[in-house]
Each structure stands twice: as structure tokens, then as C-alpha cells.
């Protein structure tokens, strides 16, 4: 087709009221991927460094699971529904997502600075309290204060980041975009784990400060260079809090289809948690150095990096629901096997890499699942509803697994079995979702149910 002069008409991509040519789409991808890099350098580095810091403070596995896994989940249950609905309904000069991405940045910087100085602050407080205070309790409390502030900032941003992508990225290329999104995340992981992880036990303060600087500059740069489109006015909302809550629950949880989808996504997401939360300690228990651990983790990211774009293409072609089921099947099988076999540094390395690669496969092929199945006008609301169930699961699972590990004498192979059980449950539920998906129109005519009833 041409414009009457023999020249081909340039291709256009549309997302709501936004229209992109090839150059505009490339610029959009660049800034979103740059923001994702800054975000993931924070996410990839802070958690393992915080785990090592807690162990240095003498924290039990239960405390590690509670602070690293359960606390963020509890904050998600409280904050994500409120932030996501307010973002869906917000209309302003900067759009409906970007203000909610910018506000938490200063709080994250304060938190990372506080974590960097946590040992010094703990010693200062201890010196003034004297022998009346338990040094262990002081250290854990100081860490917990700054960790909570950091997680509040992260939870708020994470509740909205996916909504921004849903609003500005054309859906016909969203699987490919998430493939690139995953690739950038993996590059961040490779940089941290290959170059920095080996120094995390001695240089954690500088790591926190450096990551804070990168995030504090890089993430706002993305926000200031992304333009949101125009949105229709939100539907009138009741002034009564109770009525708003009833509407939220009815719309999000009133359809059995969405409930199954939420449960399936939750089981899959939480299945990676037992290994992720305790893999550092598992590695130490079989005699692996932190330098080797970081190198193996970098290897998983490198493999996933090679696969990421092609997995995004597969998700676009075959649908993320179906590719997610296949990925969960493979992950469950590998983790059951690993629970029996991973008892030496070499065997642990094999199954740890399998865990990372297959978890990454699932993360990539399922990344656009919500965008393809939730109602687009209320995407953040429905994503938050699923996030509440995921938060409940993450609140319970890390502390529960940590308690089991303490009781078992730190038999960390249990983490692989727990992961396999959860992934198998996800497969079963997602197969039920897929059957209902076909009844709602399937690949060619899918129409998401708009409200509960």
C-alpha cells in the first residue's frame, strides 16, 4: 500500500491516543529500558546484599524470611490496591502513572543511605544505650527501619510501572518489548553478580550508595522523557470508602475466571521465592564461595539474556498463557529433581542455574499475561487485585520456609522441593484458566469480562 506517489506509507503503532512511527517507538523503548536498567540494578543488588548483612548481624533464617520476603508482601497488601486505583483514576499534566513513579524516589535514596550506614548507626545507638540494650536487637531494629522505608518506595513504584508500560506500549509488540525488558534486567543482574557480588560482604555500604545514585538519577530521567497519552475521564466514584472497597472487590474478585487467573499467577510467582530467599545460604552450606555464587548467577542471566527476545516473540505468537504453562511444567520438574541431587557445589551449581534460567523463561513469557487478559481500562486495578493474593502468599511463604529450615537444621534442599510443589500447583490452575480463555474467544476473539457479578 502507498500514499499515491509510489512510496510505501510508514508503519504506525498505536497505544490509546499515542501514535508512533519507527523512530518514536525506538525512542520510547530506549527510555523505558533505561529506566528498567536503573530499577533492576537496585532490585538485583539490594536484596542479596541485605541478606548477607542480616547474616552478619546474626539473624536467624526466620528473621531473614520475615524481613526480606514477608514484610514487602505485607506492605504490598496495604499499599498496592490504594496506589493502583488512584493511579488509574488520576488525571494530570504528567499523566496518570509518572507522578506515582517519581514521588517514591527520594524516599528510596534516604533508605539506601541509611542501610549503607546501618552498622555505624547501630554502634552509635548502642554506645548511648549501654548494656541495657541487646546489640543484636539494636542492629535488627535499625536495619528494619530503613528496610521498611526502602520497601515502601519500591512497592509504590512497582504497583504503577507495569501500568505505564500498558498505557504507552502498543499491544501488538508488547511481548517483544517484555523480551527486551527482561534482557535489560538480566544485563543488570550480570553486571552486579559478576563484578560486584564477590565484594558484597565487605563493601555493602558502597554498594548501597552507588546503587542509590544510579537509581536516583536514572529512574527520574526515564519518567521525564516518557509522554503519556490522553485518557477518558474516570467513572464517577463513591465518596464513601466502604462503597469503593465493595466495588473493587466485586469487579476484581467477582468473576471465577479472574480468581483462577490470580491464583495461578500467584502460585507461579511465589514458586521461585523459596530458592531465591535462601540460595545464598544454600550455596554456603555446600561449600560454594560468594564469588563462585555470583559467577553462576551471572551465567544464568547470560543464558536468559540470549533467550529473552525470542521468548518474547514466542509469547506474542502462541499467547503468554500457553507459554507460561509450558515454562511452569519445566520448572516444577527441574526443582523436584534438584531437591534430591543438589548436595555438592557442582550439583548445586547445575540446579541453581536451571532454577535461574527456567524462572527467567517463565518471567519473560508471562510478562505480558496481565496486559493480554485484564480489562485494559482498569489494568492497574486488576493487576493490584492479583498482587494482593501474591502478597499474601509472599507474606506467608518466606517466613514459613525459614521456620522449616531452622527446624530441619538448615536442610536447604527443602527450598527446591517447596518450589516444585508450588509450580506444579500453578500448572494445574493455569490449565483451568486456559480452558475458560478458549470459551471467552481464545486467540482470535478474546474479550475480558469487565466486572464481577
Report the distance separating Cα 144 and Cα 273, nearest Å.
20
Report the distance separating Cα 437 and Cα 443, nearest Å.
8
Task: Indicate whether 452 pLDDT > 60.
Answer: no
Task: Indicate whether 453 pLDDT > 50.
Answer: no
Number of residues that make up the chain: 453
Give the pLDDT mean for 401-414: 85
C-alpha cell at 304: 536468559
C-alpha cell at 403: 521456620
Which is higher by pLDDT, 249 or 333?
333
The per-residue pLDDT for 398 is: 75
Task: Indicate whether 255 pLDDT > 50.
Answer: yes
**Closest C-alpha to 312, from 361, 358, 362, 365:** 365
Report the distance separating Cα 191 and Cα 309, nearest Å.
19
Task: Indicate whether 2 pLDDT > 60.
Answer: no
- Residue 201 CB: number of other CB atoms within 10 A? 13
E strand or H helix that includes residue 19: strand 18-20
Task: Indicate whether 36 pLDDT > 70.
Answer: yes
Most confident among 63-72, 218-227, 395-404 (mean pLDDT): 218-227
The per-residue pLDDT for 421 is: 94
Question: What percent of the chain shows pLDDT beyond 90?
Answer: 18
Report the distance separating Cα 115 and Cα 50, nearest Å.
8
Three-state DSSP state, 414 = helix
Task: Indicate whether 332 pLDDT > 70.
Answer: yes
The per-residue pLDDT for 1 is: 44
CA angle 71, 146, 158 (to 5 degrees): 55
Which is higher by pLDDT, 99 or 134?
99
- Over residues 124-152, the pLDDT tens digits come to 888 888 777 788 888 889 888 998 998 89
The per-residue pLDDT for 326 is: 95
Give the pLDDT mean for 295-312: 84
Which is higher by pLDDT, 267 or 75?
267
Task: Indicate whether 239 pLDDT > 60.
Answer: no
Give the pLDDT mean for 332-346: 90
Domains and CATH numbers, the chain: 34-445 (1.20.1250.20)
Give the pLDDT mean for 26-42: 88
C-alpha cell at 97: 502513572
- Burial classification of residue 235, based on how many CB atoms lie within 10 Å of its CB (0-12 exposed, 13-18 middle, 19 or more buried): exposed
The per-residue pLDDT for 287 is: 87
- Residue 290 CB: number of other CB atoms within 10 A? 18
Task: Indicate whether 7 pLDDT > 70.
Answer: no
Task: Indicate whether 85 pLDDT > 80.
Answer: no
The per-residue pLDDT for 430 is: 95
**Closest C-alpha to 369, from 231, 250, 262:** 262
Task: Indicate whether 429 pLDDT > 90.
Answer: yes
Amino acid at each position: 500500500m502507498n500514499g499515491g506517489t509510489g512510496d510505501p506509507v510508514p508503519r504506525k503503532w498505536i497505544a490509546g491516543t499515542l501514535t508512533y512511527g519507527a523512530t518514536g517507538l525506538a525512542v520510547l523503548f530506549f527510555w523505558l529500558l533505561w529506566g528498567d536498567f536503573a530499577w533492576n540494578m537496585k532490585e538485583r543488588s539490594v536484596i542479596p546484599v541485605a541478606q548477607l548483612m542480616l547474616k552478619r548481624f546474626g539473624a536467624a533464617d526466620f528473621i531473614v524470611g520475615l524481613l526480606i520476603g514477608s514484610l514487602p508482601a505485607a506492605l504490598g497488601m496495604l499499599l498496592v490496591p490504594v496506589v493502583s486505583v488512584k493511579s488509574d483514576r488520576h488525571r494530570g499534566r504528567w499523566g496518570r502513572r509518572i507522578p506515582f513513579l517519581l514521588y517514591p524516589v527520594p524516599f528510596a535514596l534516604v533508605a539506601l543511605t541509611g542501610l549503607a550506614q546501618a552498622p555505624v548507626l547501630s554502634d552509635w545507638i548502642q554506645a548511648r544505650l549501654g548494656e541495657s540494650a541487646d546489640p543484636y536487637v539494636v542492629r535488627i531494629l535499625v536495619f528494619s527501619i530503613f528496610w521498611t522505608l526502602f520497601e515502601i518506595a519500591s512497592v509504590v513504584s512497582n504497583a504503577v510501572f507495569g501500568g505505564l508500560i500498558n498505557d504507552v506500549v502498543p499491544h501488538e509488540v508488547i511481548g517483544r518489548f517484555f523480551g527486551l525488558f527482561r534482557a535489560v534486567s538480566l544485563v543488570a543482574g550480570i553486571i552486579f553478580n559478576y563484578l560486584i557480588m564477590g565484594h558484597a560482604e565487605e563493601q555493602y555500604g558502597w554498594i548501597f550508595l552507588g546503587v542509590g545514585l544510579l537509581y536516583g538519577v536514572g529512574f527520574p530521567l526515564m519518567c521525564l522523557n516518557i509522554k503519556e497519552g490522553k485518557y477518558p475521564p474516570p467513572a464517577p466514584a463513591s465518596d464513601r470508602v466502604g462503597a469503593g472497597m465493595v466495588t473493587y472487590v466485586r469487579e476484581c474478585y467477582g468473576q471465577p475466571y479472574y480468581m483462577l487467573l490470580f491464583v495461578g499467577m500467584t502460585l507461579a510467582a511465589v514458586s521461585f521465592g523459596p530458592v531465591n530467599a535462601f540460595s545464598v545460604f544454600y550455596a554456603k552450606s555446600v561449600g560454594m564461595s560468594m564469588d563462585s555464587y555470583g559467577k553462576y548467577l551471572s551465567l544464568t542471566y547470560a543464558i536468559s539474556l540470549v533467550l529473552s527476545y525470542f521468548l518474547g516473540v514466542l509469547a506474542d505468537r502462541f499467547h503468554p498463557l500457553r507459554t507460561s504453562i509450558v515454562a511452569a511444567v519445566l520448572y516444577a520438574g527441574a526443582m523436584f529433581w534438584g531437591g534430591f541431587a543438589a548436595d555438592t557445589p557442582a550439583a548445586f551449581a547445575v540446579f541453581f542455574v536451571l532454577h535461574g534460567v527456567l524462572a527467567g523463561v517463565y518471567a519473560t513469557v508471562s510478562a505480558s499475561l496481565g496486559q493480554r487478559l485484564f480489562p485494559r481500562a482498569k489494568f492497574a486495578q486488576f493487576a493490584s487485585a492479583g498482587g494482593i493474593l501474591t502478597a499474601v502468599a509472599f507474606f506467608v511463604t518466606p517466613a514459613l520456609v525459614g521456620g522449616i529450615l531452622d527446624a530441619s537444621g538448615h536442610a536447604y534442599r527443602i527450598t527446591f522441593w517447596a518450589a516444585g510443589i508450588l509450580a506444579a500447583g500453578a500448572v494445574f490452575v493455569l490449565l483451568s484458566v486456559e480452558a475458560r480463555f478458549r470459551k471467552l474467544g481464545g486467540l482470535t476473539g478474546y474479550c475480558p469480562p469487565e466486572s464481577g457479578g
